[in-house]
Amino acid sequence: MEQRLATSLIMTVNEKKFIESALLSDIRVDGRRPFDYRTLTITFGSEDGSSEVQLGQTQVIGFVTSQLVQPYIDRPNEGSFAIYTEFSPMADPSFETGRPTEFAIELGRIVDRGLRESRAIDTESLCVIAGKLVWSIRIDLHIIDNGGNLVDAANIAALAALSTFRRPECTFGGEDGQQLIIHPPDVMEPLPLIIHHFPIAVTFGFIGKENIVVIDPTHYEESVIGGSMTATLNTNGDICAIQKAGGDGVPQSVIMQCLRIASVKAADITTKIKNAVESYNTQRSLRKIKRHDPSPVVICGDHDDDVAKHHMERLNLGSDESNDMEIGRKLNENDKMDKRHSIAKGSGGGPASWDPYSRGVDADALRASLGSRVATPPAIYKEESRQVKPNETKSSKQSSLHEVTKIELETSQPKSLKDAVKPKHKRRNKSTSNAFAH
C-alpha cells in the first residue's frame, strides 16, 4: 500500500489552488491559452505501420500488424481490427504491469469506438476469401510517457500508424488457381489500408463551478479538473463519438461550444497527420528506388553538398545515424568523412522540397576531399554512369548517394572510429580493390 502511494502523483494543496486560480484568469501553468493544443510531433519508424507521437510531454508509440484469420460468422466478407493499449510502467510510476486499469480500458474503448462505429477503416477491402480468410489488423498502442491527455495522443498514434501501414498483396495461383499466395514485400508492393476519414479525439477538462474549460489538459491539470469530455470528430463535421463519463455536470451551452471548438481542432490535427504521412510516403518511395537500382549512376558534386547540409549532428566517435530517415543515415556517413559538424534543419520531404541549387556550399572542397580519400573509384563510377542512365535525374541521384556513401563507409571507418582491430585496416585495402572490380 505504502509503495503505491509513494509512486503516484501527489499534488500539494498550494499547487492545486494555483492551477485553479490561474485558470480563473485564463492562464494555464505552461503558458498556453485555454483552447491551445501542445506541440504535436509525429514521427515514423523504419518499418511500415509504426508511429511515434509526442504531444507536449506525452509520448505514445503505435504499431500496426496484420494476419490472416477466419472471419466472424455473421460478417463473412469483412476483415476485423482490434486495438490493444499498453500502459507501460515507464509512462508513470503508478502504472503497473498486469491487468489493465479501468482508465486503460476506457482509453482503448474510446479509440476503438472512434474507428469502428464511424467505419473509418474499410473492412470489406480486407476480405480475401469470403467466409474463409480475411485480414485481421492489430493495433498496439504503447503509452511510454504520461504527460496528460493520453486519449488524444493515442488516437493520433493509431491513425498515423494505420495510414502508413501496408499489408502484403495476395493473389490466387497454383495449379487449380485456388491456392492463395502471399507475396513478400520485395516481390510485390504491399497495399495501404483504405481509410475513409480520420476521427480525431479532442479532450476537454472542466474545472470549478464557473465551468472553466481547458483543452488538452496536462497531467497536473488532470488531477485538478472536476470532469472531462472527449469528443471524437472528423473534418467533415461528423461527430463520431462523445465520451463524458461522470465528473461534474456541465451546462448544455458549454458542451455545444466545446463541440464547435473541437471541430476546428480536428481539422488542424488532421492536416498535421496528413502532412506527416505524406512526407513519410515520399521518403519511403525514395528508399524503394534506391533498393532496386543496382547500377552505379551519376555522382554530382552538388548533391554531396546537400547531403552535407542535411545531416544532423551526432557524436564523432562511433558511427551514428538518425533513426527515422534513410537519407539521414547516408548523410551522416558522408559527414563523418568530412568531419564537419553543423546542425542542419532536418530534410523533411523528398525530391519535392529538395532544391540542390539553393544551397551555396563549397562543392570543390567536398569533391577534393572525396577524391583524396578514395582516389580513382568515383571516377570509374562516373564514366560508367554517364553511358548508362542520362535521363533519370532524381531517382538516379538517390542511388548515387547510396553508392557514394557505400564506398565512403568502408574507407572512412578506419579514420572515424579509433579502431585498434587490425583486420579493419586490411578491409580498407580490400574495399578499394572491390571498387576497382566493379
Q: Helices 252-292 and 326-338: crossing angle, nearest 10°? A: 60
CB of 213 to other proteins, least distance (A): 25
CB of 65 to other proteins, least distance (A): 5
Our CB check for other proteins shows the closer of 174 and 423 to be 423
Quick one: DSSP state of residue 340?
-
Q: Which window, 74-82, 183-191, 279-287, 426-434, contacts other proteins (CB under 8 A)?
A: 426-434
Residues 225-244 that bind other proteins (CB under 8 A): none
Quick one: DSSP state of residue 10?
-
Our CB check for other proteins shows the closer of 73 and 343 to be 343
Contact yes or no for 79/116 (Cβ under 8 A): no
* SS3 per-residue string spanning 383-431: HHHHHHCCCCCHHHHHHHHHHHHHHHHHHHHHHHCCCCCHHHHHHHHHH
Q: Of 136, 135, 137, 261, whose CA–CA distance to 200 is shortest?
A: 261
CB of 92 to other proteins, least distance (A): 6
Residues 96-125 that bind other proteins (CB under 8 A): 97
Q: Is 6 exposed, middle or buried (0-12, 13-18, 19+ CB in 10 A)?
A: exposed
Residue from 221, 304, 408, 410 in contact with other proteins (CB under 8 A): 410
The string of DSSP codes covering 61-114 is EEEEEEEEEPPPTT-TT--EEEEEEEE-TTT-TT--SSSPPHHHHHHHHHHHHH
Whole-angstrom Cα distance, residue 270 to residue 165?
A: 17
Residues 326-355 that bind other proteins (CB under 8 A): 329, 332-333
Residues 264-303 that bind other proteins (CB under 8 A): none
Residue from 48, 92, 306, 338 in contact with other proteins (CB under 8 A): 92
Helix (H, G, I), strand (E, B) or coil at 347: coil
Quick one: DSSP state of residue 120?
-
The string of DSSP codes covering 275-317 is HHHHHHHHHHHHHHHHHH--S-----HHHHHHHHHT-----SS
What are the φ and ψ backbone dihedral angles of 374, each rounded to 5 degrees?
-120, 100
> By CB under 8 A, is residue 321 in contact with other proteins?
yes
Site string for other proteins, 366-405 (x = CB under 8 A): ----------------------------------------
Order across the sheet with 212-215: list the strands: 212-215, 200-207, 227-233, 239-243
CB of 182 to other proteins, least distance (A): 18
Whole-angstrom Cα distance, residue 130 to residue 200?
A: 31
Our CB check for other proteins shows the closer of 93 and 192 to be 93
Q: Which window, 29-37, 136-144, 302-310, 375-383, contacts other proteins (CB under 8 A)?
A: 136-144
Site string for other proteins, 299-318 (x = CB under 8 A): --------------xxx-xx
> By CB under 8 A, is residue 140 in contact with other proteins?
yes
Whole-angstrom Cα distance, residue 361 to residue 147?
A: 42
CB of 5 to other proteins, least distance (A): 10
Residue from 88, 211, 257, 281 in contact with other proteins (CB under 8 A): 88
Residues 29-68 that bind other proteins (CB under 8 A): 45-47, 50, 52, 57, 59, 61, 63, 65
> By CB under 8 A, is residue 184 in contact with other proteins?
no
State the residues that interact with other proteins by CB under 8 A.
Answer: 2-3, 6-7, 45-47, 50, 52, 57, 59, 61, 63, 65, 84, 86, 88-93, 97, 138, 140, 142, 144-147, 313-315, 317-323, 329, 332-333, 406, 409-410, 413, 417-424, 427, 430-431
